[in-house]
Structure 1
Amino acid sequence: MVTIHDVADAAGVSISTVSRVMNQSPSVSKKTQKRVLEVIRKLGYVPNAAASKAAHKHNKYIGVLFPDISNQVFGRILQGINSVLAPLGYNIIICETNGELDKEIHFLNILKEKQVEGYIMASVTIPQDHLMWIHKNRRPLVYVCQDLPKFDLKVPASSVNMDNKQAICDMVHFLYHMGHHDIAFIGGPLSDPSAGKCRYDGYMKGMKECRLQIRQDIISFQEAFGIHDGYQGMHEIYEHAMLLPTSVLCACDNMAVGAIDFMYDNSIQVPRQVSVTGVDDSSLAACIRPSLTTIRHATNDSGVKAAQLLLEYIANPDFAGTAFKTPYQLLRRQSVRQLMDGSK
């Protein structure tokens, strides 16, 4: 069994530093935090209390509920989850929910009957139906890629997610410093509090901080986050815009691919005429041409952290839970053009 001493030795830090990293202390530098988290992931370390309790279980199951199991983002998260739970003898039961509330509640109940010890879940929204179910059934749950909403009753739940608002704000600043002033936005449904509303809020925040004009004719919201939705969003902007934007910030990579597809069909050159950015760093992002400038997040480490938080709950029912913010990285590729002096 890997101990905290093993992690400290491998990372070249003290045991107290490892403890501070796992407790998200701001006193640890980002460089040290990254090194320690990488060692934790590689060694598959979990806190002793959780590991000890897990070791004495016979039938150990964890439910994982994702809206789309073909999505590479969830694949990366699942690898991280498995790297922590598999060495402890846990069996992972994976359910595909399509982001539908009825299916999510159905699978939660089915998994409860199978006596799973906890859940890790990605959900389009987190309605009160979820939180009431968790409160009633007292099954620990960790959300990934979504933020916990405020809820009056105490629930054994945590979240692992990037700061979507700040990440998109950073992308606006990046485009601005590349000379872009007319920045369009193609977003998903605002009913999705994380990938929908927070990313739109980040766009608005960035535009205001850069003192750029917010043009409603180059903002489009779609019902989902697919390639077709990005195509439709770019079509709407093309039809309604009084002046074509110099860049389009899309709420995810799939939408960005759809936007690029529309522009190809209409002889608009990317990035010479219009630059495009996405979010996720999906497998498509590096493969398409031009390769897509995007934001990488939800890596293996996100799954590792989600599994570790779940084990904390299993070991200690009084664990208070947390909203853990994962790091993200802006990746500049071919789809963004540098404009000289802000001109087209």
Structure 2
Amino acid sequence: MVTIDDVAKRAGLSKSTVSRVINDYPHVSIKKKEKVFEAMKELGYVPNSSARSLRNKKTQMIAVLVPRIMNPFFGQLAESMEIQAAKHGYQLLICQTMYSKETELKHLELLKMRQVDGMILTSIENEWDVVKEYLSYGPMILCNEFEEEATIPTVKFDQIHGGYVATKHLIRQGHKKIAYCTGGQKSNVGQHRRRGFNLALQEYHLSFDERYGFYDAFSIEDGIRIFKHIHQMPDPPTAVFTGSDEVAAGIITGAKEYGVSVPEALAVIGFDNQVITKLMDPKISTVEQPIPFLAKRAVEVMVDRISHKGNDQEVYEYPLELIIRESTVSPIRAVE
């Protein structure tokens, strides 16, 4: 039988420190807690007596899993959630997954060990069958990202509509050769945006050239890389739909470096309506995601679930709005 002494030895900490972590004593560093939880997981140690005592104890802490806090969308989402959580008497623990399945599972252990009262997932790296095993340890909700098979509340935007209105705007500006950029093909958020993109093309009887598909695009640097690729193409697209304002800013930055005019030679549309859209020259057309609203609703749903209120499978979906600026409107093209 695995004992607390075994856990202490594996973690390289004292028995008293392990005991304080298990019993949720304050003033224990996050690093030490992580070592203890990792050792417990590796050894399969479950402190039954402490788990019983902690089961009905509230930590007033909510964990929020984000893939990358440096992404302006997730940074603003986390900050907005923290403000809302404080109004309900909760603190937020921000956990970065860095798009890693292993790291995501490590953070899910916080729920299992009763270190948080609930967990908000803004992305999912593992399959739902893996994630749902943690539901027995506490409430979870999805925010932004969604999963068709999920049996937990979901708070999200209508990404199909967002992809549709952005693409339709480019088409009505006279573009027929439109590139598509996304952060990944696995995300349901990305897949729904692509569905909206395709719907707009179909409505105007246009086909998509797979040469214009760009994936794993998350940052300004990725946008610059994508522009350089487009610039070298013998038959380049005349417009680009991007999955983030960062990528759109990178494409415009690359275009400036090579003396390519935006939007006259290449129209660019972003997604999110971050501050950077108004700082770029030209200012970036984008699809606005009202992040504070999304954060407020997600925290409200999470607090309800902690109090055993609400429907486990409720889906809250909200519309998106197209913001038209200089990066897509050219005087030499057709105007809506």
The 1:203–1:141 alpha-carbon spacing in structure 2 relative to 1, beyond 3 Å, is same
**Offset at 1:341?**
6.3
Distance 1:253 1:129 in 2: 32
CA RMSD after TM alignment: 2.5
Whole-angstrom distance in 1 between the partners of 2:161 and 2:224: 25
Task: Give me the whole-angstrom Cα distance separating, in 1, the residues matched to 2:243 and 2:318.
Answer: 18
Counterparts of residues 56-71 of structure 1 (less than 5 Å): 59-71=59-71
Question: What is the SS of the residue equivalent to 1:281?
Answer: coil
In the alignment, does 2:273 pair up with 1:284? no
Asked if 1:186 is matched to 2:186, the reply is no
How much has 1:300 moved relative to structure 2?
Answer: 0.6
2:77 match: 77
Largest Rg, 1 or 2 = 2
Secondary structure at the residue paired with 2:153?
Answer: strand
C-alpha distance in 1 between matches for 2:93 and 2:194:
34
**Residues 1:173 and 2:173 are matched in the alignment:** no
**Aligned partner of 2:252 among 257, 260, 273:** 260
Q: Distance in 1 between the 2:252 and 2:293 partners?
A: 30
Mark the CA change 1:232 to 1:127 in structure 2 (over 3 Å): closer, same or farther: same
Residue identity opposite 1:119 in structure 2: M
Given that 1:220 and 1:233 are in contact with CA atoms closer than 8 Å, whether structure 2 keeps it comes out as no
CA contact (8 A) 2:263 2:330 kept: no
Give 5+ residue unaligned stretches, structure 1: 1-55
Aligned AA (1:128): W
Q: 1:108: Cα distance to partner?
A: 1.5
How far the C-alpha of 1:284 sits from its partner, in A, is 1.4
Distance 2:110 2:272 in 1: 31
Question: Equivalent residue of 1:180, what SS?
Answer: coil
What one-letter code is carried by the residue in structure 2 that aligns with 1:178? Q
Q: What is the TM-score with the length of structure 2 in the denominator?
A: 0.75
> Within 5 Å, which residues of 2 pair with 1:60-209?
60-123=60-123, 125=125, 127-135=127-135, 137-150=136-149, 155=151, 157-195=152-190, 197-209=191-203
CA distance 1:315–1:241, shift in 2 (3 Å): farther
Alignment match, 1:299: 291
Does the CA contact (< 8 Å) of 2:283 and 2:327 recur in 1? yes
Quote how far apart the aligned CAs of 1:125 are: 3.9
| Alpha-carbon distance in structure 2 between the residues aligned to 1:318 and 1:166 | 27
Is the 1:73–1:280 Cα contact (8 Å) retained in structure 2?
Answer: yes
TM-score of the two chains, using structure 1 as the length reference:
0.74
* 8 Å Cα contact 2:167-2:200 kept in structure 1: yes
The letter for the 1-side match of 2:232 is E
Shift of residue 126, structure 1, vs aligned partner: 5.2
Query: 1:235, CA displacement in angstroms?
Result: 2.8
User: Is the partner of 1:81 in helix, strand or coil?
Assistant: helix
Q: 1:233 aligned to 2:215?
A: no
In 2: Cα distance, 1:93 partner to 1:162 partner? 24
Counterpart residue identity of residue 110, structure 2: I
CA drift at 1:308: 1.2
Instruction: Give percent identity, aligned residues only.
Output: 23
Tell me, yes or no, if the aligned pair for 2:241 and 2:268 is still in contact at 8 Å. yes
Letter in 1 for 2:148: P
**What is the CA-CA distance between 1:278 and the residue it aligns to?**
0.7
Unaligned stretches of 5+ residues in structure 2: 1-55
Larger CA deviation: 287-296 vs 121-130:
121-130
Residue 95 of structure 1 and its aligned partner are, at CA, apart by 1.5
Residue 147 of structure 1 aligns to a residue in which SS?
Answer: coil
3-state SS, counterpart of residue 94 of structure 1: strand
Task: Check if 1:332 corresponds to 2:324.
Answer: yes
CA 1:113–1:124 in structure 2 vs 1: closer, same or farther (change >3 Å)? closer
1:281, CA displacement in angstroms? 1.3
